[in-house]
Amino acid sequence: MWSVLFLIAQVYLAVIGLYQFVLSLFGIVRKRGSLRHPPKKSFAILVAAHNEEAVIGALVDNLLKLNYPRELYDIFVICDNCTDRTADIVRGYPGVYAMERHNPHQRGKGYAIEWMLRELWNFPRQYDAVVMFDADNLVDPDFLLHMNNDLCEGHKVIQGYLDTKNPNDSWITAAYGITYWYCNRMWQLSRKQLKMANFLGGTGMCFDAALLKEMGWGATSLVEDLEFSVRCIKRGIYPVLNYEARVFDEKPLSFKASVRQRLRWMQGHFTVARRYFFPLFWQALRERNLAKLDTALYAITVYHVLLGAFLTIALWVDQLRAEPALDSLYAYLPWWVTAIVVFCSVAQFPVAMALERVRSWKMYAMLLLFPVFLLSWWPITLYAFFTQNNRTWSHTRHTRVLRLEELQGKQV
């Protein structure tokens, strides 16, 4: 009986993997061409910051030089429970608002955004849209132009292209870079081109202000981006990727810092899966809505990772016995099917990098260490499963000070 259940679980994960692979094929060829609208929409740019004195100046300088009429956007830096000079640095920029928040009982980006939006709705000036960045980001100068285009086309929730600011700093930042290049091309772009829902990535996000007022933020889990994505999709509002609107995000330099960040993500992901999977899944079935079903499956990706880790480890341990009792699914398939699966699993990452025009040989060499990064998700996810009720926000310290001019001078 256990061997049968073991095989069924493998078949289930194989079907999920095949589904995602088929979707990814629609990201190989990128459809080009979009309408251009003159600057029309006004923006409130919100920057979430907790003790970010090292990097906040570079971002504010960047935002003040965007290729968009300055009278059509304002910058608000949320100095959330800061104990350093973040607020003082922001106040040094004329016309930039340092919004200081002090609430030691409600820590985290989700709470900070919720507080800031309440302040914003009471602000004398009202805006057409709200854009959110993290303090360690750098932003393409045309970012607001791209957001303006999508808003004028009727989109309500828009996600920019998330890139990595520092992929060359360590093998960990390179692994993040490879992951983001793959996800932008094979996950996000494919869904956009199939007119399905995209997923918010925590920064580089744009929201129609009227929608935010109507819905409220209400996303205070450790993965507020995924939570708000699901809430939108349940309402039939599909976030859309803007492939040209680039945001460069700083990634942790060390493996330890990476583990701490990814543990927070997985803990929050379990919360969202527990809270939203079944309501969204049943809604998708009732409406025969593939986009909602796809989002429901994405919401439980964390359980797929957990199940995959358990099955693989169980199979490895069983093979050490004198008479193994468990069989791999591949034992029942022709050798050439196994060969194709292995080839596609390995090739998809360098193919995505090539499609994203990554030219650095160092990045391709880092693919040799990439499996270590992928395997490290297993113990992180397992630990997150047993600590998923944790709501404590763990801050990732940012120290990589780059200016946009320096970043544009580097070719990855």
Distance (Å, whole) CA 205 – CA 147: 9
Nearest partner of 199 among 165, 249, 161, judged by Cα: 161
Mean pLDDT per 10-residue interval, the chain, length 412 residues: 84 95 94 83 95 91 96 95 91 92 83 92 95 94 97 96 93 96 96 95 95 87 87 95 95 92 92 94 96 96 95 86 81 90 94 95 95 95 89 61 63 62
What does the angle CA 217 – CA 251 – CA 136 come to, to the nearest 5 degrees? 60
Return the pLDDT at 121.
Answer: 95
Return the pLDDT at 402.
Answer: 64
Beta bridge partners of 228: none
Return the pLDDT at 190.
Answer: 96
Cβ-Cβ contacts under 8 Å for 24 (sequence gap 6 or more): 186, 187, 190, 348
Distance (Å, whole) CA 311 – CA 206: 39
Distance (Å, whole) CA 342 – CA 322: 27
Phi, psi of 399 (to 5 degrees): -135, -5
Nearest partner of 80 among 55, 122, 105, 49, judged by Cα: 49
What does the angle CA 362 – CA 399 – CA 99 come to, to the nearest 5 degrees? 135
Reported pTM: 0.91
Which strand (E) or helix (H) includes residue 4? helix 2-25
Return the pLDDT at 408.
Answer: 62
Return the pLDDT at 220.
Answer: 74
3-state DSSP percent of the chain in helix, strand and coil, to 5? 55, 10, 35
Nearest partner of 44 among 164, 208, 218, judged by Cα: 208
Residues 370, 384, 274, 178: what is their CA dihedral angle, to the nearest 10 degrees? -20
In this structure, are residues 409 and 286 in contact, taking their beta carbons and an 8 Å threshold?
Answer: no
Return the pLDDT at 391.
Answer: 67
Return the pLDDT at 300.
Answer: 96
- Position 381, amino acid: T
In this structure, are residues 220 and 110 in contact, taking their beta carbons and an 8 Å threshold?
Answer: yes
Cβ-Cβ contacts under 8 Å for 65 (sequence gap 6 or more): 141, 404
Nearest partner of 395 among 47, 49, 45, judged by Cα: 49
SS3 assignment, position 246: strand
What does the angle CA 211 – CA 201 – CA 197 come to, to the nearest 5 degrees? 60
In this structure, are residues 46 and 204 in contact, taking their beta carbons and an 8 Å threshold?
Answer: no
Q: Is the dihedral of CA 196, 201, 204, 206 positive or negative?
A: positive
Distance (Å, whole) CA 150 – CA 240: 9
Return the pLDDT at 404.
Answer: 66
- Position 272, amino acid: V
Cβ-Cβ contacts under 8 Å for 169 (sequence gap 6 or more): 251, 253, 400
Return the pLDDT at 322.
Answer: 78
